[in-house]
Structure formats: C-alpha cells, structure tokens
Amino acid sequence: MGSQGGFGQSKEFLDLIKSIGEARSKAEEDRIVLHEIETLKRRITEPDIPKRKMKEYIIRLVYVEMLGHDASFGYIHAVKMTHDDNIHLKRTGYLAVTLFLNEDHDLIILIVNTIQKDLKSDNYLVVCAALNVVCKLINEETIPAVLPQVVELLGHQKEAVRKKAVMALHRFYQRAPSSVNHLISNFRKRLCDNDPGVMGATLCPLYDLITIDVNAYKDLVASFASILKQVAERRLPKSYDYHQMPAPFIQIKLLKILALLGSGDKKASEQMYTIVGDIMRKCDSTSNIGNAVLYECICCISSIHPNPKLLESAADAIAKFLKSDSHNLKYLGIDALGRLIKLSPEIAEQHQLAVIDCLEDPDDTLKRKTFELLYKMTKSSNVEVIVDRMIDYMININDSHNKTEIASRCVELAEQFAPSNQWFIQTMNRVFEHAGDLVNPKVAHNLMRLIAEGFGEEDDTADSQLRSSAVESYLRIVVEPKLPSTFLQVICWVLGEYGTADGKYSASYITGKLCDVAEAYSTDDTVKAYAISALMKIYSFEIAAGRKVDVLPECQSFIEELLASHSTDLQQRAYELQAILGLDANVATNIMPMDASCEDIEIDRSLSFLNGYVQQSIEKGAQPYIPESERSGMTDVSSFRSQELHEVSSHALRFEAYELPKPVMPSRVSPIEQSSSNELVPAPEPSYHAEMHQVASSVPSVSDPGSLELKLKLDGVQRKWGRPTYSSAAPSTSNADIPKIQNGAPQLDAVSSSSSKAVSYDSRRQQVEISAEKQKLAASLFGGTSKSHKRQSSGSQKVPKTNIPAAEKSHVAKNATSDTAVLERTPQPPPDLLDLDESAVSSSAQSVDPFKQLEGLLDLNQDTSTLTTSDASASGAPDVMSLYGETTLNVQSGGVPNLLPAGRDEANLLSGLAGTPNRNGHGENTVTNPTQQLNKGPNAKESLEKDALVRQLGVTPTGQNPNLFRDLLG
C-alpha cells in the first residue's frame, strides 16, 4: 500500500469517507458532499499546492463524482495532472480524466498533445496508461492525431502494449470505421501474435468485423478452428486456465466467431463439427464457466449448418440446464431452447413441463425469458393459449419498456396467427385496454381496417356479424374508466361506422355513448375529433335512411362546445356536422355513404370539373397556368401559345424571382388562382375522396374551392384507413392463413387431415375447459408441435398418447415443485443475518460463532432486541431508500466519543451491547477480535495485519456493518 501508511490517504480524506459512510440519509450525505465540494473548490485553487496533495484532491474529486455530484470545476486540474512528468501523478491524472470526461468533452483537446508524447515514451507503463486513455477519450476528430502512433505500437516489444494497441484500434473502428478501414489487415496479423493475450484481444475486433462482413473472413475458418483446438487441448500457458478450464474466455470468443462464420455455410460448418463436438464432450458441467462454454457451444451449433450429432448433444446439454436447480442454468436452458427450436421443433416437447415450471416461476427474469421462448414457438395451433398468457402477464408489468415489448409481441403474434377475426378483435381489445398507450398507433389502424374489410368480398353476413360483435364489445368496454386514447379512437370510429348498421342499437343510444366518451375524456382532442366524426356519420346515416334525427341534448351541448373550440380542427368538424344536419337524404347519402371506408377512392388528378371555371377566367383575360416542368426549361418549350412564352422569357429575371415557387401556391387561395393562372392544375392531395367529388359536382354550395380544400384535409384523418395504398402484408396473412370459419369455432390447422381436425378440436375444447391444469397447458402449448411431427407416423389418435404421460409427469413434477417451494421458502425471510451465513457456507463454523455470541448477548438487553427485529422486518420488505438511511460505515475513530450510530444492524447491536466498551475504542476491540479473526477465514495472518492497520487508523471493525470486513471471496 501507499507511502503514507494505512490506505495511503490523508486523515482528512479518511474522515470524509467515514462521515459519508455514517450518513443516515441521502440528504445528509448530500450535505457532506456539498461541503466537501466547497472545500475542494477553495483548496484546489490555492497557489503552490504540493503535488502529492494535489493528487489526493483529484482522487477526492473522483470520489465526489462517483457519488453522483458534479465535480466539473476540477476537471481542468485533472487534465493538468496528466501533463506531469511524474508517472505517479500522470497515472492519477489519466484515471481521473477517463472517469470524468466523455468522448465529446471540450477539454480532450488539451490532453491529445500529452497522449501523443506519452505514446512515444520509452517506459512501456507510460505507453499503457496513455493507451487506456486513448480507448476512452479519443473521438472521431482526434483519431488522426494518434492513429500513426497506435499503429506503430502494434509491433511494440511488450505484449501488454500490443494488446492495448489492438483494443485502441478496435475502439477507433467502432467510433469511425472509415478512419481505420485501411488498417484492418493489422487485426489479421495480430491474430498470429505469439502472446495469447494479444491473440485473445484481437478476437474482439475480428468478431465485430465478421459480424459486418462474413464473406471477407471465410478463409480464416480453418485458422479459428485450429486455434480453438489448440486452446481446448491446453496448449496455452497454464496461467490462462480458469477454474481448470483452458482459457475459457478465449474459447467463448472463438465459438462466437465460428457461429458467425458457419451460419448458412455448409462447407465452413463442416470444418467446425469435430472441434465443437470435442469441446462439448470435455466441458465440465459442474462449474459455472464450464456451463458458459457449453452454452456458447449450443449457440454455435444452432447457428451453423445443422449437424444431427451435434444437435443431439446440444439437446442433452439443454436438458441438463433445464433440470438444474440453478435459476441461472434454467434461464440459459430456456434461451438455448429458443435457439434450437428452429432447427428441431420436437425438442421443446421433451421439456414442456420444465418450460411450464419456468413460466410459473416467481423469478421475473426467468418468466420473461420463457415468454420469449413461447413467442418463438408460437404457431396457429397454440397462439390462443400463448397470447392469452402473455396478456395476463403483461397486465401486471409496471415497467413501460417491458410492457411495450410484450404488448407488441402479442399484437405481432395475433396478427400473424389469429385463428379467427373474432378472436383477433377480442385479443386486440385486451391489449389496447391494458397497454393502449404503448402500442404503435399503426396497430389501431390495422384493427380498424380489419373490422372494415372483414373477411373479403364474398361473405357479407360474416362481415356484418363480425362488426356487430365488435360494436357490442365496444359498447361494453366503453363504460370502463380510464381507457387509453388510441383505444378510444378505435372505439369511436367503429361505433360511428357500424354502431347503427345492424339496427340493434338506436342512433340516440350510440350517440349518447359517444357523447359520454367525449365528455369523460374532454382533455383529449383526438378522441373528441373521432367522437364528433362518428356523430356526423351516424346522423347522416339516419338522414340517408329517411329517419328523423333528434339530437340529444348532451350531443347538442357537445356540438356547441366544439363550435367554440380553440382547436380549429374540432371547430371545423362541428360546423360540418351542423351543415349536414340541415341537408336532405339524397345529399347525405352522397356525403357519407354507408360502410364506404374501404371503397377505392377515385381521384380526378386533372381536376377536370374545374375546367368550366378555368375557361371562364381565361376568357376574362387571366394568364393560363404553365406547369412547373415547362416553366423551368423555358427556352425549349414549343407548346401552344408560343407568343406568350416569348413574352415571358423577355422578363426572364423577374419571372425567376417571383413565380418559381411551387405550383401548390396557386391552388391554395382562390384570388391568386384567378390572377395568375388560367389552367388550374394543382397537385392534388392524395386524400381526396370520391364522395367529395360527387358533392363538388352536385352541390355547388359546398364546392367552393377554399372550403373543399379544408374539408379534404380534415376528413383524410378518419378515412385514411380505407385507402387501398394502406394495405400491408400483415392482415393479408391473417386472412390467407385462415379459412373462413364461423365466429367462435376453434381454428383448425389447414395442413392436418380431416380426421385429425376433429381430434385437435376435441383436445382444444378440453384445454380451454381446465386450462389451469399444468398438463393441459403443456398440451395446448406443445400439442401443436407434436402434432406436426408425430402425425406423419401415427395417423390420428395422438392426443391421448401424449396427454397421458404428460399428465403423469406433471403430477410428479408438481409434487416435486411444491416440495422445493417449501424448501425455498424457509431460508428466505430472515434477511441480513442469514445473508451473512449464506455467503460463508464453506466456513459455516466460523460464521456461526459470532451469532452465537450475539444471541447470548441479545437476552441482556430487551430494547436492542426489539430494535433488531424491527430492522429485520424492515429489510424483509426491502426498500432501498430505507436501507440507505440505516447504513453506516463501520468506520469509527476510537477517539471521538459520540460515535454510537443508529443502533440498527446486527453488528451494531454487538457493539451496542458491548455497552461501555464502545465509548473507548480499545475495550471494544477485545470483544471483536475473535469475530474478526473468524470471519477472515483462511487468511488469518493477512486479516490480522489488516485488522491491526485498521485499528491504527481509528477504524473499528465493529461498526454497523461487519460485512465491510468480510472477505469478498468467502
């Protein structure tokens, strides 16, 4: 350790760390840190600070910044310190700048010069320190300044320098690929470096490069395979062994690279089979690292061209993972299963119960991973169960990132595999209800389109059934509080289009509901816009049907409110609605045709209906319109009216200046049209509507160009979904996959034969009935899989065959899980005390002792014992902030009397019970000494030394947290 004895820092600094450790709340800690910042600000600007002192200030700045406070006032001093000749100080300076600065910080420019100097240093440690900084701080701009030197260092005699140079170059490549593209061959060269460390480091950049362009590195397949072989055969120095595995980290990197190279390439893959198989066989599956390599092998096998033998051993390994007690291994097993399932779907079936156990595990991480697996193995036969489960899970998630992901997966699966439109709509409703604001708005539009389009042209009754069921479900849902905006938009749109279509509900009922929605969500303008458009549709349908329209009072007040709205959009809609109410049936049918949202809209791009108007204007002497294309190539235009063109060209300058603006201009306002153009051909908005044109030609009052424009824009909002350009691939698949089947009937697999249809139908029925049962879940999740594979051999009767063993198995499994559940439960609740024990399993006797002591002491003092229990319960329901509050570093200087901190932790208890001794540090030490030694375990001498040292510094081991003194490696 350092030169000043102890931990190498001044008393002042130790005091700082101590007081922060003893801070009882975040606020107190902040106060201490802010005070420290003030002190540092003052001190650091003093003239002639001794360098050693300065170094400590910099380290204190690092500490302050680590605790989340701003230490930017001292950055410049850290930068200055990098310039120092003394390597001691330089290193500290470098460390501080790498921790303080991001790559785009202004101060970096002041360090570049120093880095350049240091990269040329004779001392390889200086070079290494500089390279560390290069990796962190050199940005795209400054790469050229150091690049030549870094490249030179690739050939440095010290392997540590070569290694860091490779990593630096890799970093440059990540930052700005173009700057080092010409140097990529260097990585290949370094792969053959004599030093395994350098070789290992080179694998990082190569992995990145191969990810980007596989084909350029196909020639290296043999080299990588042979390196891997040598590593596996322990040809590397013993020092690379890790827990008896030969250089596992290098093996993993190599396997990752091979997976990339062998993907979809049979020839390359064949070169790897032997070595990957060998490694799988040799792997020690009892150690963590062995399993890490094993897992990487499975990833590799699932990525390269499939080999039956390897797949088999991968499946075995997965089975081992899944059967393991360790959650980590289960997690990896599930992940690996997800990878392998694409190649051999039948493998999932063997592990169905394990998968379902994971699905019901209390560990959220594992659960999520399992859902990911289910997502990968979804098909039309099990989509209902899976999506149902996913939504149930989604409802309880709080984290929005997570929720969005699950929601979008539900949507994706539903769109892809929906067995019926009815089911699709119901599922979407659930997704929207619970995660509506997180779903892509496109999904809502898809849903609207699906309801509008139905199954296609042929089956009208099914379509209308679908719509009425949608309407019914929405009328049910709409009364629920706090629905997401997107969902409300869908609801309003559907109610407007189809609310009255089947005659089941009266117009006043639907309009009433719509007004309720608008009122309940009065802050949401979009919803209000949808609602009023829906009202407009319903009223015009009523008018068209020749019925008398009676506007409910609440509708009337809603319309009036919107008439005075600040939103011009809402106002516009309200006025339009009012106008429609005054029209007769014939007009209304034209404006709002029934169920026409999917009709193709004919767009009259030439705007021929305006011809008469244009002609009139020309006759009055207006200039004819010249298309933009002709205007730009003015001189070689030889079309009609060449005279006028000549005239224009004589005013070339003026023309350029005034009339070049886009042709949209003349179409916007009518006065301009009249004055500047005769032949009016504005670029039409793509959202023109057929009905609008009809209106334009038949009802002159509406055909005023200005209002037409506005109107079009507004209506485009709701009509968009019907446009033919909108149709994407997703719904068409759902339609294509699914033959038209009556609502509610389970979907049948199109591939399976007619006899099996009945069977799968039956099995589905059962599953739905008792879905709580695990084996049923298994059957419904995995049944589809087995069907597609076993069916070929065994014809039909397959359901009983898989179901019975599954049931038996699940019975056993259930017993087993309930047992383990009990087992698991017992060790959990007592938090802190047991935590200690658990981490020192290997030396149980040692860790028991202090607690026996503790127990004996407990009886002495009732007060403190209540304190402990309360604490135990507090940490039983862990809350970080409260934990934070009770933390204290067990650093107490013996001299200061008022050190007894908030008596909460068990260790503190110990010192508290020691009572008086605590007042004078020495007495206390006698009590704690044995504990300390025992805790220290195998390394008695070292821990004794440390103990002595610590005491010398006034740090007593029996603060509130004896854990501070625990060996991390118990």
Partner 1 sequence: MIHFVLLISRQGKVRLTKWYSPYPQKERTKVIRELSGLILTRGPKLCNFVEWRGFKVVYRRYASLYFCMCINQDDNELEILEIIHHYVEILDRYFGSVCELDLIFNFHKAYYILDELLIAGELQESSKKTVARHIAAQDSLVETAKEQASSLSNIIAEATK
Restricted to residues 536-565, the positions that interact with partner 1 (CB under 8 A) are none
- HEC secondary structure over 174-205: HHCHHHHHHHCHHHHHHHCCCCHHHHHHHHHH
- Within 10 angstroms of residue 464's Cβ, the number of other Cβ atoms is 15
According to the binding rule CB under 8 A, does residue 91 interact with partner 1? yes
Minimum CB distance to partner 1 smaller for 537 or for 904: 904
- With CB under 8 A as the contact rule, which of the stretches 34-42, 116-124, 450-458, 731-739 interacts with partner 1? 116-124
- Helix axes 248-262 and 273-282, enclosed angle (nearest 10): 150
296 binds partner 1 (CB under 8 A): yes
Category of 167 on φ-ψ map: left (φ > 0), alpha (ψ -120 to 50) or beta:
alpha
The CB-of-426 to partner 1 minimum distance in angstroms stands at 29
Binding part of the chain for partner 1, among 483-491, 593-601, 642-650, 822-830 by CB under 8 A, reads 822-830
Residues 192-221 that bind partner 1 (CB under 8 A): 196-197, 200-201, 204
Site for partner 1 in 574-633 (CB under 8 A): none
Q: Which is nearer to partner 1, 149 or 381 (CB)?
A: 149
- By beta-carbon proximity to partner 1, the closer residue of 95 and 146 is 95
Mask for 829-858, x = binds partner 1 (CB under 8 A): ------x--xx-------------------
Least Å distance between CB 161 and partner 1? 11
* Contacting residues for 592 by C-beta, under 8 A, at least 6 apart: 536, 537, 540, 541, 544, 580, 691
CB of 778 to partner 1, least distance (A): 23
955 contributes a contact to partner 1 by CB under 8 A: yes
CA 966 to CA 970: how far, in whole Å? 7
The Cα–Cα gap between 391 and 371 comes to: 11
User: 391, 427 in Cβ contact below 8 A?
Assistant: yes
843 near 937, Cβ under 8 Å? yes
State the nearest-atom distance from the C-beta of 117 to partner 1, in Å: 5
**DSSP per-residue letters across 281-349:** HH--TTSHHHHHHHHHHHHHHHHBS--HHHHHHHHHHHHHHHHSS-HHHHHHHHHHHHHHTTT-THHHH
Minimum Å gap between C-beta 401 and partner 1 is 6
The pair phi, psi for residue 420, each rounded to 5°, is -150, 155
Which residue(s) pair with 304 in the sheet? Answer: 263
Query: Segment near partner 1 (CB under 8 A), from 31-39, 397-405, 568-576, 686-694?
Result: 397-405
Partners of 263 in the beta sheet?
304
> Which residue's CB is nearer to partner 1, number 164 or number 467?
164
Type of residue found at 34: L
Two structure tokens written together for 829: 């609740």
Q: Is 409 in the site for partner 1 (CB under 8 A)?
A: no
Q: Which of 254, 332, 495, 577 binds partner 1 (CB under 8 A)?
A: 332
Q: Check residue 295 for interaction with partner 1 (CB under 8 A).
A: yes
Please report how close the Cβ of residue 696 comes to partner 1 at its closest, in angstroms: 51
Residue 621 backbone zone (phi > 0: left; psi -120 to 50: alpha; other: beta): left
Q: Which residue from 223, 219, 249 is spatially nearest to 236, judged by alpha carbons?
A: 249
* 291 or 446: CB nearest partner 1: 291
Closest CA to 705 of 662, 673, 675: 673
Instruction: Tell me the DSSP string of 214-246.
Output: SGGGGGGHHHHHHHHHHHHTT-S-GGG-BTTBS
List 357's β-bridge partners, or say none.
none
| 903 near partner 1, judged by CB under 8 A | no
Residue 436 touches partner 1, criterion: CB under 8 A: no
Q: Whole-number minimum distance, CB 941 to partner 1, in Å?
A: 9
**Considering beta carbons, is residue 171 or 787 the nearer one to partner 1?**
171
* DSSP secondary structure code for residue 16 in this structure: H
Interaction pattern, residues 128-157, with partner 1; x per rule: CB under 8 A? x---x--xx---------------------
The pair of structure tokens assigned to 341 is 């399932």
Cβ 852 to partner 1 shortest distance, Å = 20
The answer to whether residues 538 and 499 touch, using CB atoms and an 8 Å cutoff, is yes
Asked if 8 interacts with partner 1 (CB under 8 A), we say yes
Q: Which residues neighbour 300 within 8 Å (Cβ) at sequence distance 6 or greater?
A: 255, 256, 258, 259, 262, 272, 276
Among 113, 115, 120, CA closest to 132 = 115
Nearer of residues 242 and 609 to partner 1, judged by Cβ: 242
- 925 forms part of the interface with partner 1 (CB under 8 A): no
Q: Which one, 92 or 380, has the nearer CB to partner 1?
A: 92
CB closer to partner 1, 296 vs 924: 296
**Part of the chain binding partner 1 (CB under 8 A), chosen from 437-445, 561-569, 675-683, 939-947:** 939-947
**Is residue 110 near partner 1 by the rule CB under 8 A?**
no
What tokens appear for 388 in the block?
A: 């149902």
Question: Pattern of binders to partner 1 over 245-264, x per CB under 8 A?
Answer: --xxxx-x---x--------
CB of 214 to partner 1, least distance (A): 16
Nearer to partner 1, 166 or 517 (CB): 166
The least CB distance from residue 131 to partner 1, in Å, is 8
| Six token digits for residue 555 | 């509708």
The residue (of 402 and 426) whose beta carbon lies closer to partner 1 is 402
288 binds partner 1 (CB under 8 A): yes
Across 383-455, where does the E strand assignment appear? none
Measured from the CB atom, is 295 or 487 closer to partner 1? 295
The reply on whether position 729 binds partner 1 by CB under 8 A is: no
What the block records as the tokens of 398 is: 């709080």
Q: Give the binding-site size for partner 1 (rule: CB under 8 A).
A: 118
What does the DSSP 8-state code read for residue 263?
Answer: B
Q: Which stretch binds partner 1 (CB under 8 A): 159-167, 343-351, 418-426, 785-793?
A: 159-167
Q: What is the DSSP letter of 624?
A: P
Distances from the Cα of 647 to the Cαs of 642, 651, 677, 895, in angstroms?
A: 9, 7, 16, 103
Specify whether the CB–CB gap between 489 and 526 falls below 8 A. Answer: yes
User: Of 112, 145, 183, 289, which lies in the binding site for partner 1, with binding defined by CB under 8 A?
Assistant: 289
For residues 180 and 425, which CB has a smaller minimum distance to partner 1 in the complex? 180
Region near partner 1 per CB under 8 A, out of 119-127, 508-516, 672-680, 731-739: 119-127
CB of 683 to partner 1, least distance (A): 42
> Considering only residues 891, 909, 913, 934, which one is a binding residue for partner 1 as defined by CB under 8 A?
891
Residues 18-47 that bind partner 1 (CB under 8 A): 21
Examine residue 827 and tell whether it contacts partner 1 (CB under 8 A): yes
Does the protein bind partner 1 through residue 80 (CB under 8 A)? Answer: no
Give, as ranges, the residues between 347 and 386 that touch partner 1 (CB under 8 A): 362-363, 365-366, 368
Among 50, 612, 878, 895, binds partner 1 (CB under 8 A): 878
DSSP label at 750? Answer: S
CB 337 within 8 A of CB 781: no
- Asked whether position 967 contacts partner 1 by CB under 8 A, the answer is yes
- Pick the closest to residue 379 from 416, 337, 410 (CA basis): 416
Minimum distance of partner 1 from residue 939's CB (angstroms): 4
Does 73 sit near partner 1 (CB under 8 A)?
no
Sequence-distant (≥ 6) Cβ neighbours of residue 447 within 8 angstroms:
425, 428, 432, 490
Binders of partner 1 among residues 217 to 246 (CB under 8 A) are 237, 239-240, 242-243
What is the nearest approach in angstroms of partner 1 to the Cβ of residue 945?
Answer: 8
Length of the chain: 970
